Structure 1
Amino acid sequence: MKLTEQTVLITGATSGIGLALAARLYEMKNTVIISGRKQERLDEIAAHYPRMDTFCCDLQQEDGRVALAGWAINRYPKLNILINNAGLMKVSDFTAEVPFEKIAEEITVNLLTPVHFASLFTEHLQQQENAAVVNVTSGLAYTPLATVPVYCATKAALHSFTYSLRHQLRETSVKVFEIIPPAVATDLGKSDGYEQNRSMAMKLEDFTNDCIHRLENDEYELGIGMAEKLQAEREGLFQMLNPDS
């Protein structure tokens, strides 16, 4: 996949993996559009990257997703790469009742949003000479971490959907990629009490470098770093991640 002089929309790109990919693609002379929920944070990023465009919306809401898609397609008729990056990781203990709102929020952002965007964008993308949908899942889609079960389940479902979407679009100009991150040194899940082992987390710069290289080489399932082992060695690594199970 050519990753210069393209027009790219990245959801959930105000921090972490999303922002790192946005910054790198911006540096590679692409037109980059990002979305997020906080206008103040989007303004800070736009001030640092003057050619980067932003759109503030709540992806948990259907009208927010529809508004983003309509605005992006109308403003950027050459938009040809969609990166579904927005995600939430929440600690949930199902030995007791878990609030429905907490479950619904995680499923909506992690699964419903990228599936809905596939519906909203793929007709437009098929009109482009070269196009791509890039879904960010997780190594935990393959080997779950039991303390964040809904997150793992949504990423497993998104992996399955991505596989099917790739098949449906096989005769079109749209390539479908799955980025499968390992634990990366970001704040994902931190607001809900999840604390990752930073010594085992992949550096964000290393992750971004590997990700860009492999996208450019048309690797459709990008198991990055430890995520490759989570794909291949599920049973043994499940016991390592969940020692009391």
Structure 2
Amino acid sequence: MKTTGNTVFISGGSAGIGLAIAKKLSKAGNKVIINGRNEERLQKALLEINNAVAIKGDLSIQVDRERIAKELADLYPDTNILINNAGAAFMNDLGDQNNNAAQKAYDEINTNYLSVIHFTSLVLPQLLEKENAAIVNISSIAVYRGNKYLPTYSASKAALHSYTQGLRDTFIENEKLNVYEVYPPLVNTEFSAEIGGANGIPPEEVAEELLLALEKNQFEVPVGDTKKIHALIEPIVEKING
């Protein structure tokens, strides 16, 4: 699809991967709408991006999702790319009975999966009116296997992965709407600091891979170490799907 002249909404766009994507797409000649929960961080981010505006709100809350979707329709009707990037992750020790594991899992599933489904459904009618539209879901290398540090986060991203595949299949015959999935490995952001993010790749690498994928209509976008896993698994998936 074309990578310039778009109007792009990015959830979680005030920091980390979302901000890196916003900068990259803005530099490529796109209008960018960043979303986040913190007004101060949004305004700080806007100082780093050209041709950008911000919509404050928490997409994990239904009333905010509905309000933001309406703002996009009313104020930014040209929006043709939706990037679902906002996420939640918690270290979740399933062996610790005082850990409140279920609540952490609920928050992750709500933010990383259920909210994405609802918000996408709210914005979808607007996207379907466009001649050139895309939905981009930022998942994770964690879709392939959970671990004892992030078991419920991994489960939420695996759910997002399955949903994304189903969404893509739903619109496979619609040449005007493409569905992408980005699989970052560990990324050096504030979001991942608790789990050793300092050892991860820079968020700019994720943004660069996404831009290249948009140019090539490459709907599966593994990044960094995820490429090795993806190369092994995808041929098997394609064979199963026939």
TM-score (norm 2): 0.89
Amino acid paired to 2:34: I
Q: 2:178 aligns to what?
A: 175
- Per the TM alignment, residue 233 of structure 1 is displaced from its structure 2 partner at its CA by 5.5
Q: Whole-Å Cα distance in 1 between the matches of residues 206 and 128 of structure 2?
A: 29
Q: 1:91 aligns to what?
A: 91
Q: Whole-Å Cα distance in 2 between the matches of residues 219 and 183 of structure 1?
A: 21
Q: Is the 8 A contact 1:90 1:189 kept in 2?
A: no
Q: Whole-Å Cα distance in 2 between the matches of residues 171 and 207 of structure 1?
A: 28
Q: Whole-Å Cα distance in 2 between the matches of residues 46 and 151 of structure 1?
A: 29
State how 1:127-138 maps to structure 2 within 5 Å.
127-138=129-140
Q: Whole-Å Cα distance in 2 between the matches of residues 136 and 22 of structure 1?
A: 14
- In 2 relative to 1, CA 206–60 (structure 1 residues): closer, same or farther, beyond 3 Å? closer
Q: Is the 8 A contact 2:83 2:136 kept in 1?
A: yes
Number of matched residues?
230
Q: 1:148 aligns to what?
A: 150
Q: 1:67 aligns to what?
A: 67
Instruction: State the SS of the aligned residue for 1:133.
Output: strand
Q: Whole-Å Cα distance in 2 between the matches of residues 196 and 29 of structure 1?
A: 30
Q: 1:243 aligns to what?
A: none
State how 1:2-151 maps to structure 2 within 5 Å.
2-49=2-49, 51-97=51-97, 98-99=99-100, 100-151=102-153
Q: 1:239 aligns to what?
A: none
Q: Is the 8 A contact 2:37 2:57 kept in 1?
A: yes
- Per the TM alignment, residue 109 of structure 1 is displaced from its structure 2 partner at its CA by 1.1
Instruction: State the SS of the aligned residue for 1:177.
Output: strand
Instruction: State the SS of the aligned residue for 2:195.
Output: coil
Gapped regions of structure 1 (runs ≥ 5):
235-245
Bigger CA drift: 39-48 or 70-79? 39-48
- In 2 relative to 1, CA 197–24 (structure 1 residues): closer, same or farther, beyond 3 Å? closer
Does the alignment pair 1:158 with 2:160?
yes
Runs of 4+, deviation exceeding 4 Å: none
Q: Output one character per residue of 1:123-170: Cα deviation in whole Å (capped at 9) or x when no partner.
A: 211110010000000011013233101110011111100000011112
Q: Whole-Å Cα distance in 2 between the matches of residues 44 and 196 of structure 1?
A: 22
Amino acid paired to 2:138: V
Q: Is the 8 A contact 1:14 1:45 kept in 2?
A: yes
Counting aligned pairs with the same residue, the percent is 36
